[in-house]
Structures are given as C-alpha cells and as structure tokens.
Amino acid sequence: MVKGKNFEVIIIGGSYAGLSAAMALGRSLRKVLVIDSGLPCNRQTPHSHNFLTQDGEKPAAIAAKARAEVLKYSTVQFLNGLAVSGEKNESGFLVATQDGAIFQTEKIIFATGIHDVMPDVLGFADCWGISVVHCPYCHGFELRDRKTGIMANGPRAVHLASLVNNLTKDITIFTMGNANFSAEELAKFDKHNIKIVETIISEIEHENGQLHHLVLNDGSRLDYDALYAAVPFNQHSDIPVALGCELTEQGYISIDNFYSTTVKGIYACGDNSGMMRSVGNAVYSGNFAGAMVNKELTDEQF
Ligand SMILES: Cc1cc2nc3c(=O)[nH]c(=O)nc-3n(C[C@H](O)[C@H](O)[C@H](O)COP(=O)(O)OP(=O)(O)OC[C@H]3O[C@@H](n4cnc5c(N)ncnc54)[C@H](O)[C@@H]3O)c2cc1C
C-alpha cells in the first residue's frame, strides 16, 4: 500500500536502472515512488554474468538484493504494478496505474527497459537467454569452445562474429536469407574459417532451453550448442512517447549527456535509452540519472 499521492520523483521501472536511480534519490531524502511490473528482460536467464560482486548470480536475486537496499531509505516506496499513462499538468505530471491509482510527481524517470521481439522460429523463445543469447560479454565465456551459430546478417553479424571468434573457433553465420557482406568481410570470414548459411532456420530443437539441433527450411538438422542472435526490439512502455519524448532512429528514448529526454522534467536510463545493454550499464546510468534529477530539483528549490 503506497502512503500518499504526491512525490518529487516517480520512477517507472524498478529493475537495475530504476533501483539505482532510486538509491541516489533516496540518499538525498527525495520523496520517490518506484512502480514496477516485474518483467525484466533477462528473467529467463539462469545466471547473470559480467557485473562485479554478482558474477554468476540469478538475475532476480540481484534485483531482490538491490530492492532491499533501496527500501532501507524511508523516503522511497515501491509499488508492484503497471503504469499505464502519464499526463503533464501545472505541478509536473500525473501517473496512473492499471489498478486505478493516480499519483502526482514533479519529475519522472523512465527505467522501463526494452521488449525483445522473438523471431518466428519454433523453440527460439524457450532458449532465449539460456543457449540462444544476445551478448558475448554476458554469456560468451560459458559458451566458449562450443559449436556456435550466429543468427544475423550485415554489420551486426560482422560485429558478433568478430567478438565470438575469440571465444570459439567453430562459427557459422545464419543470415536467414541472402547474405549481405562486402568482399572484404567475406575475406575475413574465410580467414577465420567462419561459414555462412543462407537457408532459414525454422526450428530450434532443445531440452529445457538447451539447444541441440538447428532445423533448416530445407529439412537439414544440424548439431549446434549455442546461437547468438540479433533480434529487433520495442520500447517496453509507450508512455514516454505519449508524453512527447522523442526516440532515436534506432528506437531508443533520445537523451542528452545528463539523461534528460527531449521533454523537460522527464529522464530515461538503462536499456530503453542506450545500446550498451548490461546490468553494469543499467546501474551506472540509473545512478547518474538519479543524481541529475536531484540536481534539477535542487536548482529549482535552492
Ligand atoms: C536474455 C538476456 C540475458 C542477459 N544477460 C545478461 C548478463 O548475463 N549480464 C549482464 O550484464 N546483462 C545481461 N543482460 C542485459 C541486462 O539484463 C539488461 O541490460 C538490464 O536488465 C537492463 O536493465 P533495465 O533496468 O534498463 O531494464 P529491465 O531489467 O528490462 O527492467 C525494466 C523494468 O521496467 C518494468 N516496466 C516496464 N514498463 C513498465 C510500466 N509501464 N510500468 C511499470 N513497470 C514497467 C519491467 O517490468 C521491468 O521490471 C541480458 C539481457 C537479456 C535480454
């Protein structure tokens, strides 16, 4: 049960970025409400890697520890729920939740993350974050020396292949259609024995998310252990755009160097506003955004 209706800051999204912003603000005695719908993008990954002090920890355990630390600051409250709309008014913004509550706030921080769009490949979603992964820094060490596919084309495939090449020497790029590479890129693949397959993957055969075979449209069934995939994404929440926040060409919330969006009083941090997708970056950017919102409030009140 949330106490009160008026806040200095409402943070929408209470995973790593949102909680980190809340900590900076709570430590400055700001009256904060964090609203979180409990669907972080990494929820299917058994273990999170590459974040100091939490390497190999379960994603939900990191978030639970963060939440407990943040809620020690008595001016911060946490609401399990979905924010469904935001509206500008003369005192700042009104934020409404799915269960009908309406809160007033001076500033908003969106830490809402992004939603990965699963391709139309049977079994893909079941393996996402387990043996089908997006990031060599997060999962590459655990998948080292395995028979590995990369489901991507063009510059994204080149980028992934160059990183994964240091982790395993058995790489095939699945372009899911006509390959789109320059002669120079093809020469590099050749030099590193990286194979290219243009036939579309129709199914991933797996056991509890652990990939065993890639089944192609032509009926072939190939032994593989791991697949990197570049998938499209949407903003997890449409409230920033409804409030007038501009998006970048790539679909991220447009922010300046101080995490301010294109709408005064609204900030964004974490995955929703930058392509460096990691727990470490979410924590960093949330901490920075929290400090910037505190500075804006301080400048207005001092
Ligand atoms: C499969 C997978 C595995 C990964 N593994 C790793 C790893 O091993 N190591 C690593 O460093 N990084 C990893 N990452 C990246 C890392 O998980 C993200 O960078 C990080 O979770 C981003 O944090 P965030 O707070 O910005 O967003 P998220 O963690 O996605 O959280 C966003 C939160 O906002 C909430 N929300 C959204 N809209 C609303 C709304 N309208 N109202 C209320 N709440 C809302 C969501 O429910 C969610 O809780 C992985 C990512 C994926 C997809």
> Could you report the per-residue pLDDT of 19-51, keeping only the tens digit for each?
999 999 999 999 999 999 999 999 999 999 999
- Going from the Cα of 41 to the center of ligand 1, the distance in angstroms, rounded, reads 4
Contacts of 232 (CB under 8 A, 6+ apart): 116, 117
pLDDT digits (tens, 9 = 90+) for 194-222: 999 999 999 999 999 999 999 999 999 99
The confidence score (pLDDT) of residue 12 equals 99
Tokens of 302: 């001092």
pLDDT band at residue 85 using 50, 70 and 90 as cut-offs: very high
Question: What mean pLDDT comes out for the span 114-121?
Answer: 97
Helix axes 16-26, 59-70, angle to 10 degrees: 20
pLDDT band at residue 283 using 50, 70 and 90 as cut-offs: very high
| Contact of 88 with 95, CB cutoff 8 Å | no
* CA proximity to 105, closest of 8, 40, 184, 32: 8
Q: Calculate the average pLDDT of the chain.
A: 97
pTM of the shown model: 0.97
The phi, psi pair for 85, rounded to 5°, reads -160, 160
Q: Which residue is closest in CA terms to ligand 1's atom 46? A: 39
- Residues across the chain: 302
- Locate the ligand 1 atom nearest the alpha carbon of residue 19 and give its number: 25
Tokens of 273: 């506003």
pLDDT band at residue 112 using 50, 70 and 90 as cut-offs: very high
- Locate the ligand 1 atom nearest the alpha carbon of residue 280 and give its number: 11
Tokens of 259: 């995490």
pLDDT band at residue 181 using 50, 70 and 90 as cut-offs: very high
The confidence score (pLDDT) of residue 145 equals 97
The confidence score (pLDDT) of residue 269 equals 98
Sequence letter at residue 109: I
pLDDT band at residue 73 using 50, 70 and 90 as cut-offs: very high
| Contact of 44 with 129, CB cutoff 8 Å | yes
Which residues, judged by CB distance below 6 Å to any ligand atom, belong to the binding site of ligand 1? 12-13, 15-18, 35-42, 45, 48-51, 82-83, 111-113, 116, 128-129, 134, 138, 236-237, 239, 270-271, 277-280, 282
pLDDT band at residue 239 using 50, 70 and 90 as cut-offs: very high
